[in-house]
Structures are given as C-alpha cells and as structure tokens.
Amino acid sequence: MRALEGRVAMVTGCGSQGPGWGNGKAIAVTFARHGAAIYGIDLDREAAEETRAIVEAEGGRFAVGAGDVTSKPAVDALVADCVARFGRVDVLVNNVGHSLPGDPATMPEEIWDRQIDVNLKSAFLCCKAVLPLMEAQGQGAIVSIASTAAIRYTGKPQAGYAAAKAGLVQFSRVVAVDYARRGVRLNCVLPGLMDTPLVEKLAQDFASRETGTDRDTFYRRRHEQVPMGRMGEAWDVAEAALFLASDAARYITGTEILVDGGLCAAVRG
C-alpha cells in the first residue's frame, strides 16, 4: 500500500522557480505518487499548474490554490477551498521560503520583515488554519521545510533567513509538544546545499557580479563544500518529507531530519 493512500496533503510553494524540480514540486509529485490528493498552493498559478499537469498525467488528484500564504485572509480562503474540494486536510507541508543576504547593519527593515513573513509567519498562519481541523479529525502531520541555516552558519551572511528558519524549527518543536496528545505531529526537514532551479538563478546572478567567475565555478564550489562531494536534489527533500508525513513516522514528533550530505557534521558551530 502506498504511504499516503487516501490522505489529503496541502503543499505550499508547489511550483518551481524555473525549469526543473524545486522542493515543493518534487514533494507534491512524490506525495501524489504515494496516494495523496494534493492541494498545491503557489503565488505563481502557472507554476502550480505545471505541477498539477504532471500529477494528473500520472493519474493523481491535484487542485491548485493560488495565493499569498503570508496573508491570513488568503490562507483561510485556501484552506476552506481545500476542504470544500477534498473534505479534509491530513498533511500540511510548509515549504515556502526565500533568502536575501544581509546583516543587521546593512539589511533594510522591510527586507527583514519580509524574510520573517515568508519563512516563518506563513507557517504560523497555515498551522493556525489547519490545526483545528486536524485535531477534530484526531490525526494530522505537519512537515515544515527549514534549512541547515537554522542551526549552523554555513558561509552566507543571511541573518534574516537564518533567524526565521531557526524560529520555524523551534515553533515546530513547541507546537509538537502541545499537540502530541491530540494526534497531530510536527517535524522539520533541514535541507543543505541543494541543486534546484533557485540555485541556477543564484549561480547566474553570482556569475554576473563576480569578475572572473562563471556559473560552473559557482556550482563546483557548492559541490566541494559537501562531504559527499555533491549537492542534493529536491527528490532527497521530498523523500524525507514523505517519511515524516507517513505512518512510518507515527512515533516521531518535535524533531528534525538533516538532508545535507554531511554538511552540518563537518561545519563547526
């Protein structure tokens, strides 16, 4: 039997930011392949529709919800739409995230606020909307995609992103304890250096800024940082999320899985 047969999974950030496989897209497709009906949310409806087309071509069920998960009215409407279409919410994947560089002295206040909103407030709002539903059902699983930046400094000046992802990890731990006897589990996946469409954009930006540096140099440096000698893929994140969402992890709550090729084990912090 497939791991999520008969479940309804809400996945935020289900589209990719370019050709290829981002974390949310891979998670949505993986969950659908394991029997879940997917309610995929993205700001970019076209990107979400691309994911929907893949799922439906493979015989899965997928409904698109386009909206901003940093807005409470939008989140409430999206959750209501999911329930109207599928009748319940069994799994929530908080996947939206965005990183911009800067330290407190150089980062504009509005950039700080946006980092907190996208990476942390979005998860709070989605949990706020689905937790009562899951409690009423007597079961539910929430998986939040954080980052190794939540627990280590891995070479990038990203104070806002790191703080928000660290907040997401501790938020998940605290709520996991509160809801442990109500049948709802909360856990996090912490990806390290991943090869996704977003990284391709970063590589092109990096090459355009750095004299004498090209895209291949950017990729080579990232591969070399990882003890396993290569970046991970979105599928690696998706498989970890699938495990935490499934009954195979029924006795696991309030914790994190590192998906980083040994990066954090090798970085002092």
Burial environment of residue 6 by CB neighbours within 10 A (0 to 12, 13 to 18, 19 or more)? exposed
Distance CA 257, CA 269 (A): 18
Distance CA 157, CA 160 (A): 9
Task: For the beta carbon of residue 202, count every other beta carbon within 10 angstroms.
Answer: 15
Q: Using CA of residue 117, residue 120, residue 123, residue 124, what is the dihedral sign?
A: negative
- Say how far residue 32 (Cα) sits from the centre of its chain: 16
Task: Give the CA-trace dihedral at 218, 160, 74, 32, to 10 degrees.
Answer: 40
Q: Which is catalytic among the residues 39, 161, 179, 219?
A: 161
Please check whether residue 187 is in contact with residue 230, taking contact to mean a CB–CB distance below 8 angstroms.
no
Q: Is 39 a catalytic residue?
A: no
The first and second tokens of residue 233, run together, are 């893929």
Please check whether residue 192 is in contact with residue 258, taking contact to mean a CB–CB distance below 8 angstroms.
yes
Please check whether residue 13 is in contact with residue 41, taking contact to mean a CB–CB distance below 8 angstroms.
yes
Beta-bridge mates of residue 188: 144, 256
CA 56-72-93 angle, to 5 degrees, is: 40
**Residues involved in catalysis:** 161
